[in-house]
Amino acid sequence: MVVNALNSDVWTYMADFEDSNAPTWDNMVNGQLNLHDAIRKQVDFKQGEKAYKLRTDRTLPTLICRARGWHLEEKHMTVDGEPISASLFDFGLYFFNNAEELVKRGTGPYFYLPKMESHLEARLWNDVFNLAQDYIGMRRGTIRGTVLIETIPAAFEMDEIIYELRDHSSGLNCGRWDYIFSVIKRFRQNPNFVLPDRSAVTMTVPFMDAYVKLLIKTCHRRGVHAMGGMAAQIPIKDNQQANDAAMDNVRADKLREVRAGHDGTWVAHPALASIAADVFNTNMPTPNQLHVRREDVHITANDLLNMNVPGKITEDGIRKNLNIGLGYMEGWLRGIGCVPINYLMEDAATAEVSRSQLWQWCRHGVPTESGKKLDRGYALKLLHEQADELEKKAGKGNKYQLAAKYFETQVTGEEYAEFLTSLLYNEITSASEKTPAAKL
């Protein structure tokens, strides 16, 4: 995957140790090893008859490392008897082993920082950056960090987050699914924040549109880049008509981003890169759009919290949320961090939206389009129907029933874990009294 990503016709490759990765010890260590080797262009290998080699006919994409968020631990390594912060583990291994080599090769240690809710978390990252650079004798400011504004509290602190990282900031990034997840999570007790089916919550609904405009205006006023969101579609190989429609949606979404003033964007699959590049190259002839100041934009707190989202809650929407949540959790429990479902790449963020919507709908007893009230009994009935159906279609060794066991605690409007990944983490750790964690 690393070789294929670096061989893609893109400008950057974000190696994701967080939402698209299940943090088994093997995944974390082998992921670090693969990036170490890729940076030194010694990652080529053969698997059976197939050879994987880095291309030599062009400059490879710039590598960005996405460390895990501050809420996660790495239980396989302890410091003073306590699990180390997953953020520090991911950052520390990558920086210590690769920072000087990256600079020597003409790039640098670049990071993608997820899940922040406060400028104080940005300040902590800045302190970490300074300490790390001082420790190896590197000039302060060499590290660059792009902050993913994917929580509703962070949307109210964009200026402050940029300020805290002012010596290391390369910009802010619009999220999508994690942002919707955060809005539901933080206001889940308030019936005024109930949202319709996930498919109806697009980037053009009022609270999402306000967030995008504010992010672009804030970034460009401060002289940093404003990145667009991720296109989650993957090619539909067996249906040309459906594939064309999906790619048209990608093209329209990227056109919306570039016209709004974004300086770049993301795709989840290399096949989408040419579409995104064509849209941005055509509509953004300059290297960026820092000159698009968006002085026409005046966003208030009420705009960021405007939940006037048209749409309905349907049983089909409920079942889709159940399938996405179960599908992601089942893969995660087997050590796989993202799964293709209905030709979309689903990761932790989309699973969190699914889980949070189900919880919210049950909590407030909302009726479906057909008039059926969503309560605990109805939610669990549908959950077990979907789990049984998915299990029948899957091969031996699947973990759908284990996923359902955890998921049923999260969809009835009662218990609510801060993050699904924290809820599931003990299932994939190998650290125990019999196999002690590594110690510093």
Q: Backbone dihedral region of 151: left (phi > 0), alpha (psi from -120 to 50 degrees) or beta? A: beta
Catalytic residue among 19, 66, 178, 253: 66
Told to judge if 66 belongs to the known catalytic residues of this protein, a careful annotator would answer yes
- Residue 47's SS3 state is strand
List all residues 6 or more positions away from 246 whose beta carbon is below 8 Å from its beta carbon: 233, 235, 236, 343
In this structure, how many other beta carbons lie within 10 angstroms of the beta carbon of residue 100?
Answer: 16
CA 215 to chain centre: 17
Rounded distance between C-alpha atoms, residue 385 and residue 163, angstroms = 50
Phi and psi at 85, nearest 5°, equal -60, 130
Q: Are 407 and 416 in contact (CB under 8 A)?
A: no
Rounded distance between C-alpha atoms, residue 289 and residue 292, angstroms = 5
At position 236, the amino acid (one-letter code) is I
**Placement of tokens 């109805």 in the chain:** 378
Q: Are 201 and 309 in contact (CB under 8 A)?
A: yes
Catalytic residue among 253, 347, 355, 363: 347
CA 190 to chain centre: 26
Q: Which of 371, 251, 368 is nearest to 321 (CA)?
A: 368
**Which residues are part of the catalytic machinery?**
66, 347
